[in-house]
Amino acid sequence: MLSDDLTRAESQITRHPDYPEPGVVFRDITPLLADGTSLRAVTDAMYRPFAGGFDIVAGVEARGFLLAGTIASLAGTGVLPIRKAGKLPDPAASIEYTLEYGSARIEAPGVLFPGARVLVVDDILATGGTLAASQQLVRELGGELVGTTVILELDGLGGRETVGDHVHSVFTAALS
């Protein structure tokens, strides 16, 4: 059962039909992020199952950065920024992928020590394209993937199958 803080946080995720393109129902987490109690409750719930078991938190640009920084601060670890292509001077790994509404390329710097235990975080799991690419990036960097955690998992796009069973989601919602 969800705590009162988590129940309120879930209610702060808003639905936006036909954004950013027809047929997509966009879930906006910005009202949740703006509420300190909700941000704390959600980030706490995201990393608790993995507490003590990771050395660094990887977050996917842009929304994943906000969550990775918050979780790293709570857990006392560093952050691995997974960036959209073209933002790093000397990326150590680079992968192209598709997501619910388009395609993109992500890159990461070579800052992991060999075998570093990495927790990958993002806001939404939709098709899983972004997180699967992030997981592959972490492995190519020599890290050990210890978990993947999101605020909201959208049912019906096959994301969990793509990313793997060990993904943790605080909330789940039907696609529509």
Ligand X SMILES: O=P(O)(O)OC[C@H]1O[C@H](OP(=O)(O)OP(=O)(O)O)[C@H](O)[C@@H]1O
Ligand Y SMILES: Nc1ncnc2[nH]cnc12
Span from 22-30, 71-79, 81-89, 105-113 in contact with ligand Y (CB under 6 A) = 22-30
Q: For ligand Y, which residue of 8, 27, 105, 160 counts as binding (CB under 6 A)? A: 27
Q: Which of 90, 79, 96 is nearest to 137 (CA)?
A: 96
Which parts of the chain are beta strand (E)?
Answer: 14-17, 25-28, 56-60, 78-84, 93-99, 102-108, 117-125, 144-154, 167-173
Q: Which is it for strands 93-99 and 167-173: parallel, antiparallel or unpaired?
A: unpaired
Q: Does residue 27 have an active-site annotation? A: no
Q: How far apart are CA 93 and CA 140, in angstroms?
A: 7
Minimum CB distance to ligand X, residue 115 (Å): 26
Q: How far apart are CA 48 and CA 44, in angstroms?
A: 6
**Pick the catalytic residue: 63, 83, 107, 153?**
63
Nearer to ligand Y among residue 5 and residue 28 (C-beta)? 28
Q: Does residue 63 have an active-site annotation? A: yes
Q: Which residues bind ligand X (CB under 6 A)?
A: 60-64, 99-100, 104, 122-130, 159
Phi then psi for residue 119, to 5 deg, are -100, 120
Span from 19-27, 48-56, 103-111, 138-146 in contact with ligand Y (CB under 6 A) = 19-27
Residue 62 contact partner, candidates ligand X, ligand Y, none, CB within 5 to 8 A by sort of partner = ligand X
Nearer to ligand Y among residue 128 and residue 143 (C-beta)? 128
The DSSP secondary-structure symbol of 175 reads -
Phi then psi for residue 108, to 5 deg, are -145, 150
Residue 25 contact partner, candidates ligand X, ligand Y, none, CB within 5 to 8 A by sort of partner = ligand Y
Catalytic residues: 63, 100
Using CB under 6 A, list all residues that contact ligand Y: 24-27, 99-100, 124, 126, 154
